[in-house]
Amino acid sequence: MPFAERRWGLRHDGSGLLTHWRAYLLLLPVTGIIGLLFGGGLVMAFLQSIGAIGLLGSGQISLTAYQTALANPEFLRSLTLSVYIAIVATGLSTVFSIGLAILLRTAGRWASFACQVTLPIPHLVGIVGVLLLLSPSGLISRWLYMLGGIQSDQDFPLLVNDTANIGVLLHFLWKEIPFMTLILLAVLRGINPAYEMQARALGASPWQCFWHVTLPMMKSGIFSSSLIVFGYIFASFEVPFLLGSTRPRTLPVLIYRAFTDSDLTRRPEAIALGIILSALSMLIVVAYSWLVSRNYQSMSRV
């Protein structure tokens, strides 16, 4: 608690049941709304998936939808693809964001502002941009043609709707790096530079100083921001739908297709898949919090 001494009133709030109730009261609207909407929605979805309620619900509770969902051979391929995209995009975004944040830390305000300007650009706009830039008839392809690198648009490598999902990954990097950098830059600016000076004065090289002092101090910021980014990418729909490979499809795309299928009997399966996806994401959050708490324990042991 770095600002504990500045939090003058804290001591007086932490006493007794009465003040706890005040805190819970202040939190009630937020927890109520999130619980009711998100939790409630999830419960209703689950009830539909087991056939307790819904259009085709016979009132008979069964796990058929889950059996169908898991038996679908595309499920595993979709899951693998989703995990692959989320891990690669998050990993690369994290590394680039750390680098960019370090660069921007000592650069002028103009630089960090310029990197923020793409922040408010909607995903769909980014998708349009990536399509018009990277498709075989896109801008880069035209540049290469002009420079004589390729003879026709057939020679340009497939970067959108490709099996390796390069376009999806590039889009996420383009979108998430500024977001993560913004957070990490704020974390970096909150670090007292005296620690780094002290490390240098004790004989650490710039690289050692970064690896042993700066990076550990950024750790919780890196963890949290990469968790948010991972969760977002894992659950993202529009980007893989419009930029990704057509087969296999990511899990959200698969679910969307099943849910909007003209064959209404596929609905329970779609909902079951949705529940599985939610469960997987929750597992990630739990694993993350376990990882973080373990990390802090090991830190306190040192």
Partner 1 sequence: MLKNTLIVLVIVVLFLPLLPLLVWSFSQGWFFPQFIPEQWTFQHWIQVFSPASRVMEGLVQSLAIALTTTMLSLLVGLPAGRAIGLMEFPGKAALKLFLLTPIIVSPLATLMGMQFVLIRLGLNGTLFAVVLVHLMPTIPYMTLVLASVFANFDMGYEIQARSLGASPLQVLSQVTLPLIAPGVVVGALFAFLISWNEFLLTFFVSAGRVFTLPMVLFTLLQGGNNGLTAAVAITSVVPGLLFLLLASNALQNETTLAGLGNV
Partner 2 sequence: MSQLVLQNLTKHFSGATAVQDLWLEVQAGEILALLGPSGCGKSTILQMIAGVLQPDRGTIALDGKLINRVPPEKRDIALVLQRGLLFPHLTVGENVAFGLKMRGINRAEREEKAIAMLHQVQLDGFGDRKPSALSGGQAQRVALARSLVIRPKLLLLDEPLSALDANLRAEMQDLILRLQTQTGVTLLIVTHDQAEAVVMSQRIALMFNGRLRQVDSPEQIYQQPSDETVAQFMGGVNFFAIQAQGQQWKLPNGLVLVSQHRHQGAIRATIRPEQIQVFTEMRSQNNIIPATVIANRFTGTQRRLTLAIAANLTLQAWVTPTQDFHVGQAVWAYLPPENLWYFSQASALPQAVEVP
What is the binding site for partner 2 (CB under 8 A)?
A: 8, 11-12, 14-16
Q: What are the distances in angstroms from CA 140 to CA 27, 131, 147, 164?
A: 51, 11, 11, 19
**Core vs surface per residue 235-261: b (16+ CB within 10 A) or e:** bbebbbbbbbbeebbbbbbbbbebeee
Q: E strands along the chain, which residues?
A: none
Look at residue 157 and give the partner it binds from partner 1, partner 2, none, a contact being a CB closer than 5 to 8 Å depending on partner kind.
none
Q: Which two tokens stand for residue 176?
A: 């998430």
C-alpha neighbours within 13 Å on the C-beta side of residue 154: 2
CB of 60 to partner 1, least distance (A): 18
CB of 26 to partner 1, least distance (A): 4
CB of 270 to partner 1, least distance (A): 7
CB of 70 to partner 1, least distance (A): 15
Look at residue 161 and give the partner it binds from partner 1, partner 2, none, a contact being a CB closer than 5 to 8 Å depending on partner kind.
none
Q: 221 or 248, CB closer to partner 1?
A: 221
Q: 132 or 202, CB closer to partner 1?
A: 132
Q: 201, 90 in Cβ contact below 8 A?
A: no
Look at residue 98 and give the partner it binds from partner 1, partner 2, none, a contact being a CB closer than 5 to 8 Å depending on partner kind.
none
In whole angstroms, give the CA distance from residue 213 to residue 167.
36
Look at residue 163 and give the partner it binds from partner 1, partner 2, none, a contact being a CB closer than 5 to 8 Å depending on partner kind.
none
Per 3-state DSSP, the chain is made up of helix, strand and coil in percentages (nearest 5) of 75, 0, 25
Q: Position of tokens 């921001």? A: 225
Q: 38 or 211, CB closer to partner 1?
A: 38
Q: 24 or 211, CB closer to partner 2?
A: 24
Q: 49 or 199, CB closer to partner 1?
A: 49
Look at residue 143 and give the partner it binds from partner 1, partner 2, none, a contact being a CB closer than 5 to 8 Å depending on partner kind.
partner 1
CB of 17 to partner 2, least distance (A): 11
CB atoms within 10 A of CB 65: 23
